[in-house]
Chain A
Amino acid sequence: MAEFEFETEGVKKTFTFMNRKAPYGTIYALEVLETVLITAAFEQHANIVFVDDGVYQLKSGQDTAAINMKNFSPTYGIIEMEKEDADEDEDIDMNWRIIVEKESLEARGLTTDDFKVDVEVLSAAELADVIDASDCVIGG
């Protein structure tokens, strides 16, 4: 059995995660979330972006008990903690942004008060620049 060694030392990229689906109806939201956490393990930069129905992933007060599915929304709190740790600790070279698109938010009658974590609200034009400047985009 061959052993693989990954040459990741010193490799630093910016990943953008496009969350565009509401939670629970499909597996997209959960799968992207898992991938975001891997990004933390490898200490990479990340833009965790919520557009379209993806903004519903951040809604506070989710209670899935009656649909027999795991409520994974507390994990967004973990992401916020990771971000804050990275911001505060000079030894961690990891820049994370949690971004919501203004147009998607307004189209759904939501405000940042509806969310369980603090987010940056960017216009579509501002967000286009962020996406374009990233090294790798993970859709979902």
Chain B
Amino acid sequence: MLHTVNKSPFDRNSMETCLRLAKKGSAILLIEDGVIAAMQGTIQSANIENATDAFDVFVMGPDLKARGLSEDNLIDGVKVVDYSGFVDLVEERGSVNAWL
């Protein structure tokens, strides 16, 4: 299953709940404001830092770019994808759970 999170962890608990209820081994894709969760050095960073072993964590490159967030500051283990990468994930992972 592919889980998408589109809310900032500073705004909503969507990512926190996703991490609690996603089955280990699932893919998690951070999109829109969700990309904020992938940045190093925030008080929320530990959540994703601790998740990269149990999950395949991806972040949407165009959403980082739009917000002026550099890929250099991503948490280690987070992989950047573009829109076609998103499509590939949907195809590979079977079904999508969009955490709103």
Contact = CB atoms under 8 A, between A and B. Distances in A.
Interface in A92-140: 101, 103, 124, 127-129, 131-132, 134-137, 139-140
A136 to B, nearest CB: 6
Main secondary structure of the interface of A (DSSP, over half): mixed
Contact of A128 (B21, B96, B98): B21
Contacts of B96: 137
Interface string B76-100: 0000000000000000000111111
Interface string B20-33: 11110010000000
Given A137-B96, A139-B99, A140-B100, A132 B23 contact: yes
A46 interface: no
A135 B95 contact: yes
A124 B95 contact: no
B95 A128 contact: no
A128 B22 contact: yes
- Which of A16, A131, A136: most chain B Cβ within 10 A? A131
Nearest to B22: A128
A136 B29 CA distance: 17
A46 to B, nearest CB: 15
Interface in B17-74: 17, 20-23, 26
Given A51-B17, A132-B1, A137 B23 contact: no
A137 B97 contact: yes
Interface of B: 1, 13-14, 17, 20-23, 26, 95-100
Given A18-B97, A128-B20, 14 more contacts: A20-B17, A20-B100, A28-B100, A51-B17, A51-B21, A124-B20, A128-B21, A129-B23, A132-B22, A132-B23, A135-B95, A137-B96, A137-B98, A139-B98
